[in-house]
Structure 1
């Protein structure tokens, strides 16, 4: 019988030595989650990490590793609860042009996640939504997940984030903010939503894990590599970004990413530093 870990390594186009990463880092992480889940399932686990840190890949391995421990895990990505393209265009027209681009708080539909968590807690069957990045739009149909689920892995670049102090919004972090949000309307609304619906959503987490890169330069490198892989898989997809578009996309996320890199290590239950090769370099509690 084929080992599901080896199968996943092949599917993700990872090198054969990635099995060492699984054994040294993701297996102990699965054990920690399983211990937390003992006697209190279902468990809602947040997986935070800047763009390109490998959150979705980690979750795929955790699903397999938790299954070996008798726990059924499924993954909800915050990317899959983005507003539809038409909804973001309406938000951009009525509120602020920068909301046309997916990413920041305010461009998601938190209600989807609330409904999924409620269904998981009740042991009901539910539909997992899907977002197609190559089209920059919601998929017409989700995936039906039959209950019960023992562990819901909720992954996303801003999962668990908290709003900034209002005074911190005054100074732009990059040229995009200075030129396209001079009146602080966009970033103030992002911060407000983060402290409202998103705060209530993240309060549902039983456990928070952070995949932490060293700095924002690492985010830029990792995200560029991620887009290159997407272009390789789907070269004709309409939603692909040029290098310039990737940089603009990251400019929109820079403020909150920097805030999380500074604040979240003190808030997360587990912090796993991620090296320049996109592999974990250590595992430890925050």
Structure 2
């Protein structure tokens, strides 16, 4: 089965690295192999390349993104009304349907036929189940996402706003506490489904706004729709919603992931 294409400006990783990643998954007997990386790091591109190589070897592969488990727009709008307005925006912990992601990975691991949820980022809502790709038994699931296995922060770390969005739109910390609580409470169950993880480590969070803008431009260029995506200013604000958890990932994941691969500003592996 072919994974859906993910618009990206990443030109693709070297074939030798793709082979190393697949061999890393197979050598360690991984049924669910995770590729983590901050926004725009190339994780979707790498997952697609690894899946293609695995299929060329006769393996059955599924590709799933944590982004495809986002709650739909209507459900996030309900959270925005009842908890905090920032929860209308997809992305941070607390805006995902974690039980759906867990059930999907469990079905794939068990070899049961299942449908892979899909989220339309330009429409900003999950596609209806009738449009989800159905798969049968697979040998390997590649699970990719920007904050996989990132632990929650200590409560005292939440007291000081990190950027303009937090200062102006979450001055009392309600939103960031909600997201942090969700990260601590809901996501360990999802992380437990991962057998092994590769972390694509950027040179710093400062690379992310440029990478995310390049990703947005590619997404819009490839879309067969009249719906408009975000402009550069909207992307800059959007990235601030991810900054706190992204910096936590940068701090923690090198010691959590079984394999950390540093990238330079052009997303080229270092070493």
**Normalised by the size of structure 2, how large is the TM-score?**
0.92
Q: 1:24 aligns with which of 6, 10, 16?
A: 16
Change (3 A) 1:72 1:90: same
Q: Secondary structure at the match of 2:14?
A: helix
Determine the structure 2 residue equivalent to 1:50: 38
Residue 193 (structure 1) aligned to one of 182, 191, 203: 182
Larger relative contact order (CA 8 Å, sep ≥ 6): 2
- Secondary structure (helix, strand or coil) at the match of 2:40 reads coil
Cross-structure match for 2:210: 221
Kindly indicate whether residue 161 of structure 2 is the aligned counterpart of residue 169 of structure 1.
Answer: no
Q: Is the 8 A contact 1:173 1:255 kept in 2?
A: yes
Native 8 Å contact 2:220 2:228 kept in 1? no
Q: Paired residue for 1:142, among 129, 132, 148?
A: 132
Equivalent residue number for residue 94 of structure 2: 106
Q: CA deviation at 1:23?
A: 2.2
**2:88 aligned with 1:88, yes or no?**
no
DSSP 3-state at the match of 2:33 = strand
CA RMSD of aligned residues (A): 2.0
Matched length: 265
- Structure 1 distance, partners of 2:210, 2:99, is 32
CA contact (8 A) 2:35 2:199 kept: yes
Unaligned 5+ residue runs, structure 2?
Answer: none
What's the secondary structure of 1:195's corresponding residue? helix
Alpha-carbon distance between aligned partners in 2 of 1:100 and 1:114, rounded to the nearest angstrom:
23
CA–CA separation in structure 2 for the residues paired with 1:178 and 1:153: 37
Cα–Cα, structure 1 residues 181 and 87, in superposed 2: closer, same or farther, change >3 Å?
same
- Match status 1:253 vs 2:242: yes
Paired position in structure 2 for 1:118: 106
Alignment TM-score, normalising by the size of structure 1 = 0.87
Does 2:261 match 1:279? no
Distance 1:180 1:151, change over 3 A: same
Contact 2:9 2:215 in 1 (8 A): no
Whole-Å separation in 1 of the counterparts to 2:74 and 2:10 = 36
**Contact kept in structure 1, 2:263 and 2:270, CA below 8 Å:** yes
Structure 1 residue 13: Cα displacement: 7.8
> Partner residue of 2:85?
97
- CA distance in structure 1 between the aligned counterparts of 2:124 and 2:248, rounded to whole angstroms: 26
User: Cα distance, 1:69 vs. partner?
Assistant: 4.2
Distance 2:96 2:259 in 1: 26
The CA deviation at 1:98 is 0.3
2:196 alignment counterpart:
207
Bigger Cα displacement from structure 2, 67-76 vs 51-60: 67-76
Matched residue of 2:36: which SS?
Answer: strand
5+ unaligned residues in a row in structure 1: which ranges? none
Conservation of the 8 A alpha-carbon contact between 1:34 and 1:69: no
